[in-house]
Amino acid sequence: MLNFYSAQIERISLHRVGNKHKNEPIFLSQEPFGLNDEMSGLLKEYFFKPFREKEENYFKFDHEADLEFNEVYNAIVTMLKDDATFHHESKKITTQLYDQSKHPHIKSGEVYVVHFTDIALDNQKTDAIGIFKSELKHDFLQFQEKGQNLDILIEQGININKLDKGCLVFNVEKEAGYKVLSVDSNKYDTKYWLEDFLNITPLSDDNFKTKNYLKFCQNFAKDVVLPAEDKQQEVLFMNRAVNHFAKNDSFEESNFLNEVMENPELIPEFKHYKVEKGPKFSIEDVSNFDIANKAVSDARKKMKNVIELDTNIQIKLDFINPESAEKFVEKGWDEERQMYYYLVYFNKEQKS
C-alpha cells in the first residue's frame, strides 16, 4: 500500500535524451535543478498521479549474469548511500537511457531523476529514487496584449496531467534488487523502457501470487468450466473463487479446491490445467501464500459477471452475494421453442 501524502522532493536533476539511432544529441545539465514550493507541488502531482491510478505490480532489478552488472541499480545504490553523488549518478542513468534508444520509433524527451523522502510504503516511511521521461509535446495557447487587442500565441509543452514513462525505486530490499514500480503510457516501446533500460523483472511477492492465481482461475473457468457446464457456472465458479480469497488471510490450494469446486470431477481437471498452463502465470509451484487484499479488490473490479445471451439480453450476477445467483436463477430447456431459458425469481423490482 502506497501513500504519497507526506512525500517531499529532496533533489532533482533534469536532462534531455535524443534518439541515438537517429544521431540526435544528449544534453546533460551541469547542475541539479533548483526547486521552489510551487514547482515542487506541480511536479509531485505530475510524477505521482499515474502510480495512484495503477495497480501496485512490483518489479525488482535483475541481470542475466549478476545484479551487480545492472547499471541503473548500481547508480541508485550509490545515490542512496551518498547524497553528494546524486547529480553525477543521474547523468549515468540518463546516458544509459540514451544508449538504449536504438530503435527509430523511440522518442526524444526530458529526463527527470528525483530523490523523494517520506513516501509511505506498507505504512513505513522510506526514500525512493524516481526516473521519469516526458516525450509527447502538446499544443497550448498563450495570450498577450498588443495595444488595444488580445493576441493568441500557439506554443508547445508538456501535459502535466499525463506522464509518459516513469519508475519509482523504493529504498527497501536492496540485496534482492529493490522494490520497483513502473508506468508507461506509450506502449509501443515498453521493451526499451522495462527490459533494455531498467532491466527489471516481476517481483514474486504475495500481491503477484494473488493476482496471478486469480488470473489463472479466470482462464480455467473460461477454458474448462464453460465448455464442461455453462456460462452461469463459469461466472459462479469465479464468484466463489474471488469470495474465497476475500474472506481468507492465507491461501492453501487443497482448501480452496474443496470449497470452490462444486463439481468434484473438475478437481483433477484443475490440477492438470495447472501443470499445463501454470508456467504462463508463474504459479506452477505456488500452492500456499498470504493473500494480498488489494490484489483481490483489483481483480474483482475487472472480472466480468455478466451472462450475455444471443437474444440481446444480459443477466448480471452479484459477486458479493453468490448465493443469490444460485438460489434465484435457474437454467432450463423449452421443448416447444427449442431454446434455453433462464428463470429469475424476485420479490420486487429495485428502484434505480
Q: pLDDT tens for residues 273-292?
A: 999 999 999 999 999 999 98
What's the pLDDT tens digit per position in 2-37? 899 999 999 999 999 999 989 999 999 999 999 888
Q: Evaluate whether residue 350 is within a structural domain.
A: no
* Same domain flag for 155 and 256: no
* Same domain flag for 159 and 211: no
Determine contact, residues 86/114, Cβ cutoff 8 Å: no
Q: Evaluate whether residue 351 is within a structural domain.
A: no
Between CA 26 and CA 22 the distance in angstroms is: 12
Between CA 213 and CA 87 the distance in angstroms is: 42
Provide the whole-model pTM. 0.77
> Among residues 185, 203, 221, which one ends one of the domains?
203
* Same domain flag for 191 and 214: no
Q: Which of 93-107, 227-241, 304-318 is most confident? A: 93-107
* Same domain flag for 233 and 276: yes
Q: Count structural domains, the chain.
A: 2
Q: Evaluate whether residue 192 is within a structural domain.
A: yes
What's the pLDDT tens digit per position in 91-150? 999 999 999 988 888 999 999 999 999 999 988 999 999 999 999 888 888 898 988 899
Please, which pLDDT band fits residue 352 given cuts at 50, 70 and 90? low
* Same domain flag for 172 and 226: no
> Among residues 164, 181, 203, which one ends one of the domains?
203
Query: Three-state SS string across 31-73, please?
Result: CCCCCCHHHHHHHHHHHHHHHHHCCCCCEEECCCCCHHHCHHH
What's the pLDDT tens digit per position in 201-216? 988 889 899 999 999 9
Q: What is the pLDDT of residue 320?
A: 59
Q: What is the pLDDT of residue 321?
A: 61
Burial 131-163 (b: 16+ CB within 10 A, else e): bbbbbeeeeeeeeeeeeeeeeeeeeeebeeeeb
Q: Which range marks the domain in which residue 330 is found?
A: 207-344
* Same domain flag for 268 and 322: yes
* Same domain flag for 59 and 144: yes
* Same domain flag for 87 and 176: yes
- Alpha carbon dihedral 224, 228, 229, 233, in 10-degree steps, equals -10
Q: Evaluate whether residue 49 is within a structural domain.
A: yes
* Same domain flag for 197 and 229: no
Q: Evaluate whether residue 230 is within a structural domain.
A: yes
* 93 contact partners, CB below 8 Å, separation of at least 6: 71, 72, 75, 76, 111, 113, 131
